[in-house]
Structure formats: C-alpha cells, structure tokens
C-alpha cells in the first residue's frame, strides 16, 4: 500500500455544502488537506444533494488537485428521526441501512477505498440508520480502515454506543484530550481507541487567501510555522533607508535566542541595474548573521512578475500571518505600511527617532530610536550591542502579550500541514495497519450477515404488503357502505 497516495472517502449525508453549517467547513478542510498531501478524496453526499454551494468547495482547491477530488451522490436519503434507543429502530430505517451498506461496499470496491471518515454517524440519534450501514458495510469489507469523528461530548448514553459492534479497524476521533476519556467510557471502550485530532483552522482558508498567496507560503513555509514572522514592504532602491540591515540583525539575534523566525521582504520597483547587487548584499548579511534561505528572502525573486511588486491583496494576506512589525525606517512622510501591519494584528515597534511616527501612531506601539534624517542616533555601546538589547525588550513584550501568543499558537498548531503531519498521518497509518492485519472476509460470516440484512427487507416488504391489503380492505368497505346508503 502506498501510504502517500491513498483513496479516502469522507462520508456525509449532506444535501448541500452550506457555508453556514460548521460541519461543512470541517469536512471541506479535511478534503483540502488530504488533496494537498497527495491523496485522492471521495466526498460522498446524499442522493438528494444539490450543487447550490459547490463554489464554496472548489475555490479552496487548486486546479492541479481537482482531478483527485470526487463528489458522488450515493448516500441513501431518508426521513430521519432522533432515536434515543436502537430498540425503536424502524424496519424502514433498517432497510435504509442495508441498502446503503450495499452501495458503500460496491463503491469502495470500485474505487479501491482504503480509509473512510465519518462525522457523527456513530453518535447522533438522527444518524442511527447510517451507523447501521457502516456496521454492515465494514463487516463485509474488514480491510477498510474507519475513523469516526464525534463532535460533541456524549452525555446520556445510547445503547448503540459500543465500539465492539464495529471491530478493531474502527477508531473514534475527538477534538480535545480533556474529554477523550469520557468519550471512551460512553462508547464502552478504552482511550486507546479514541484518537485526539483538533479541528483544522488554517489561515489560508479562514482568511480566504488567494492561490497566489498560498504559492508564496509554499515557497516560505515558515511564514506559517515560525514563532515570529514579519512581512516588510520596501522599495528595492530604499532598503538602506528602510533600515533593513538593522531588521536582519534583530531577527538573527532572536533566532540565536531560540526563537523560530521568518522575515520576508515584499520589495517592489526592483528595476535598476544595481538590483541584483543590492539584494545580494542583504542575502550575505542574512547568511553571515545565521538566517537560512527559508527564513529570509525577497518576493521579487519568487516570480519574474513580482519584480514590480505583489498585489495589495497578496500583501495583506501575508501580513495577516505576521507576528511582529519592526519599522526602523529613517525617512518617511507617513509610512502606510505601519498602519497596514497594525490592522493585520502585528505587534508594532516604531522608530522613536522619526518624529512623524509618534503622530501616526499617537505614541502607541513600542518606540526605539533607530536614527533618522533629522534625528541622528548613534548608540554609545555600538549597534550590535544596542540591537541585542532592543531584541531582548521586544521578546519580553512579545512573551507577555497573551492575545498575540494565542494568535500565533493557532496559526502554528491548527494549520492543515501541522495537523496532517502531527495528527492525521500518524492516526491514519495506525488504523490502516490494524485494518491490513484483519482477517479476510469469511464466506460463512458474509452469508450470515447478508441473511440478516435480507430478513430486514423481507419483514419490511411483508409489513408493507399487509398495510396495502389493509388499506384496500378499508376502501372496499367504504365503497360497500356507500352503495348501501344509495339503496336507502
């Protein structure tokens, strides 16, 4: 089995991809993540599904990944009720379970599905018929792995909450460790059968980043994973006036203190003859200071068309990933990029030597003198020692900003790459290994299961036939009564 290129089914009974429904976002985030990491994704939806909100899905998926995405309307529709016990499970819904099980078995075999995700199918009373379908289908396909998301903390126990009904190739998934033991207890299993996988909340989707922005993040993945990130817009012919050398030095000091960093210069108008030489100067400074290629760079070097700058949308997207905005510029009339960074939630460090900056920020932010064209500044201890002290103060301010650190933690921990590598991939490999080791389907077991399924259908058809006969009898009696009335 090629674990890097799996066929994954996401089982839902969605009738549309309604963006107002939180579970829609959860499922589509999973689909996007799995596609991004090389898998083929089959989103299975209701036979009554409509395409009204399909754009909500497709705008998340790059063109080059769409041939590995399939949305198939095969999940049997039913008029559901909220069961509180399986004793009340109607014959009609048992037949729905049997019909859907047959559909799933055929579909999984036709598409070589190796692992299936469900959402609340084995949990909510509304989905009891779908839980039954999973139970029947998985016994007929013992080598398929199943991960079942439970999205709420189970309270009053239900009599179908028992993992032994399903088999070892099934695991529950819950989004937090705190309540995972309670989930295990309610499903009469051990915590070893409850995998903890937080929900995906990726800035690329949440902020609706453009594909162009996402390509830059792929080039500099530390924009997503580093603790301290700065995106610094600057004209290439004014890098010295923008204080880029000081900025590089501060970031290298932060890195030496054990902080992961990423500094991306969104440069524009890089058209002069001296451009390559100018950029090379700062590349050399970054390297000698200890910054690696994935921790420092210029957007003008990513694509030829970026030589004249990236769009305001892409710049805004990238700034939303920022943590810190140090603004050591020595020449500015207003400095648009400062307020832009502040609006994107960055911690602002201003140049106290530039008088207008006090006005623009109304003495907010964290000011440090960096020198300017009308306020010369030369630190008595030398620039290296001074910038080291500045770095320590910035780090202290950052550590004590609980709101900012929460924002950074969510960017680092809940993006789709971090969750795939740290939670999804290990969980998928675990359950796939279990499924591979399961015994092949034994004919006697298959015959027994299919006999049980057929008995449900037979009972249902008999009841239906009796109901029709009874109804016909009543109609006949009514007609006879009418004739008698007419004779009178």
Q: Compute the average pLDDT of residues 166-176.
A: 96
Q: What is the pLDDT of residue 12?
A: 97
Q: What is the pLDDT of residue 479?
A: 57
| Cα(62)–Cα(123) distance, integer angstroms | 33
Q: For residue 115, give both structure tokens.
A: 């692992």
Q: What is the pLDDT of residue 464?
A: 85
Map residue 346 onto helix, strand or coil. Answer: coil
Provide φ and ψ at 12, rounded to 5°.
Answer: -135, 165
| Cα(361)–Cα(390) distance, integer angstroms | 19
Q: What is the pLDDT of residue 272?
A: 58
Q: What is the pLDDT of residue 155?
A: 86
Q: Compute the average pLDDT of residues 304-332.
A: 95
Which residue matches tokens 């080791």? Answer: 437
Give start and end residues of each alpha helix (H) in 344-382: 355-361
Q: With 60 as the cut, is the pLDDT of residue 484 above it?
A: no
Q: With 60 as the cut, is the pLDDT of residue 488 above it?
A: no
| Cα(466)–Cα(459) distance, integer angstroms | 11
pTM above the 0.85 mark? yes
Q: With 60 as the cut, is the pLDDT of residue 485 above it?
A: no
Alpha-carbon distances of 468 from 90, 96, 477, rounded to whole Å: 18, 20, 14
Alpha-carbon distances of 160 from 75, 213, 280, 316, rounded to whole Å: 21, 46, 66, 50
Q: What is the pLDDT of residue 282?
A: 96
How does pLDDT run across 38-49, given as a tens digit for each residue? 999 999 999 999
| Cα(384)–Cα(246) distance, integer angstroms | 9
108 compared with 440, residue with greater pLDDT: 108
Q: What is the pLDDT of residue 480?
A: 60
Angle (nearest 5°) at CA 9 between 215 and 219:
10
How does pLDDT run across 129-153, given as a tens digit for each residue? 999 999 999 999 999 999 999 999 8
Whether residue 261 contacts residue 226, with contact meaning beta carbons closer than 8 Å, is answered with: yes
% pLDDT > 90, the chain: 84
Q: What is the pLDDT of residue 156?
A: 86
Q: At how many degrees (to 10) do helices 443-487 and 128-140 cross?
A: 140
Q: What is the pLDDT of residue 275?
A: 60
Q: With 60 as the cut, is the pLDDT of residue 411 above it?
A: yes
Alpha-carbon distances of 167 from 71, 315, 377, 447, rounded to whole Å: 28, 50, 72, 18
Q: 452-482 burial, b for 16+ CB within 10 Å, e for fewer?
A: ebeebeeebeeeeeeeeeeeeeeeeeeeeee
Q: With 90 as the cut, is the pLDDT of residue 278 above it?
A: no
Q: With 70 as the cut, is the pLDDT of residue 197 above it?
A: yes
Q: With 80 as the cut, is the pLDDT of residue 486 above it?
A: no
Q: What is the pLDDT of residue 216?
A: 98
Q: With 80 as the cut, is the pLDDT of residue 426 above it?
A: yes
Q: Which residues contact 377 (CB under 8 A, 6 or more apart)?
A: 353, 369, 370, 371
- Confidence band, pLDDT 50/70/90 cuts, at residue 388: very high
How does pLDDT run across 58-104, given as a tens digit for each residue? 988 999 999 999 999 999 999 999 999 999 999 999 999 999 999 99
Q: What is the pLDDT of residue 373?
A: 85
How does pLDDT run across 237-275, given as a tens digit for each residue? 889 999 999 999 999 999 999 999 999 999 987 555 556
298 compared with 355, residue with greater pLDDT: 298
Nearest to 291 by CA among 322, 267, 262: 262
Q: For residue 294, give both structure tokens.
A: 């994935």
Map residue 159 onto helix, strand or coil. Answer: coil
Q: With 60 as the cut, is the pLDDT of residue 123 above it?
A: yes
Q: Compute the average pLDDT of residues 473-478.
A: 57
Map residue 255 onto helix, strand or coil. Answer: helix
pLDDT, mean over the chain:
93
Q: With 80 as the cut, is the pLDDT of residue 125 above it?
A: yes
């Amino acid at each position: 089995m090629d674990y890097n290129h799996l066929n994954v089914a996401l089982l839902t009974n969605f009738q549309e991809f309604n963006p107002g429904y939180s579970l829609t976002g959860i499922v589509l985030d999973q689909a996007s993540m799995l596609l991004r990491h090389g898998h083929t994704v089959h989103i299975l939806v209701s036979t009554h599904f409509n395409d009204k909100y399909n754009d909500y899905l497709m705008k998340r998926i790059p063109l080059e990944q769409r041939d590995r995405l399939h949305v198939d309307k095969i999940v049997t529709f039913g008029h559901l009720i909220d069961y509180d016990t399986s004793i009340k499970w109607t014959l009609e819904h048992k037949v729905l379970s049997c019909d859907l099980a047959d559909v799933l078995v055929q579909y999984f075999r036709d598409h070589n599905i190796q692992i299936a995700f469900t959402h609340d199918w084995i949990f909510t009373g509304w989905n009891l018929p779908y839980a039954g379908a999973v139970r029947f289908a998985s016994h007929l396909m013992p080598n398929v792995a199943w991960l079942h998301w439970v999205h709420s903390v189970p309270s009053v126990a239900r009599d179908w909450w028992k993992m032994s009904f399903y088999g070892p190739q099934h695991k529950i998934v819950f989004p937090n460790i705190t309540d995972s033991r309670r989930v295990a207890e309610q499903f009469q299993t051990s915590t070893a059968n409850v995998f903890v996988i937080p929900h995906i909340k990726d800035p690329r989707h949440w902020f609706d980043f453009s594909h162009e922005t996402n390509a830059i993040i792929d080039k500099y993945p530390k924009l997503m994973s580093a603790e301290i990130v700065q995106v610094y817009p600057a004209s290439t012919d004014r890098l010295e006036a923008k204080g880029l050398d000081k900025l590089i030095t501060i970031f290298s000091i932060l890195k030496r203190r054990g902080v992961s960093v990423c500094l991306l210069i969104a440069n524009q108008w890089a058209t002069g003859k001296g451009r390559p030489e100018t950029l090379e100067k700062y590349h050399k400074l970054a390297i000698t200071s200890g910054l690696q290629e994935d921790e420092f760079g210029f957007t003008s070097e990513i694509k030829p068309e970026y030589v004249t700058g990236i769009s305001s949308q892409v710049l805004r997207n990238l700034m939303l990933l920022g943590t810190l905005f140090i603004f050591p510029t020595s020449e500015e009339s207003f400095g648009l990029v400062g307020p832009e960074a502040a609006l994107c939630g960055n911690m602002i460090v201003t140049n106290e030597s530039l008088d207008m900056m006090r006005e623009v920020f109304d003495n907010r932010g964290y000011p440090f003198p960096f020198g300017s064209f009308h306020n010369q500044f030369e630190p008595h201890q030398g620039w290296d020692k001074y910038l080291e002290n500045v770095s320590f103060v910035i780090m202290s301010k950052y550590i004590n900003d609980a709101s900012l650190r929460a924002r950074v933690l969510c960017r680092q921990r809940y993006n789709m790459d971090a969750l795939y590598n740290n939670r999804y991939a290990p969980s998928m490999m675990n359950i796939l290994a279990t499924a591979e080791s399961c015994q092949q389907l034994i004919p006697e077991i298959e015959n027994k299961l299919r006999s049980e399924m057929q008995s449900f259908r037979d009972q249902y058809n008999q009841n239906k036939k009796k109901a029709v006969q009874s109804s016909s009898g009543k109609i006949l009696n009514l007609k006879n009564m009418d004739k008698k009335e007419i004779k009178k």
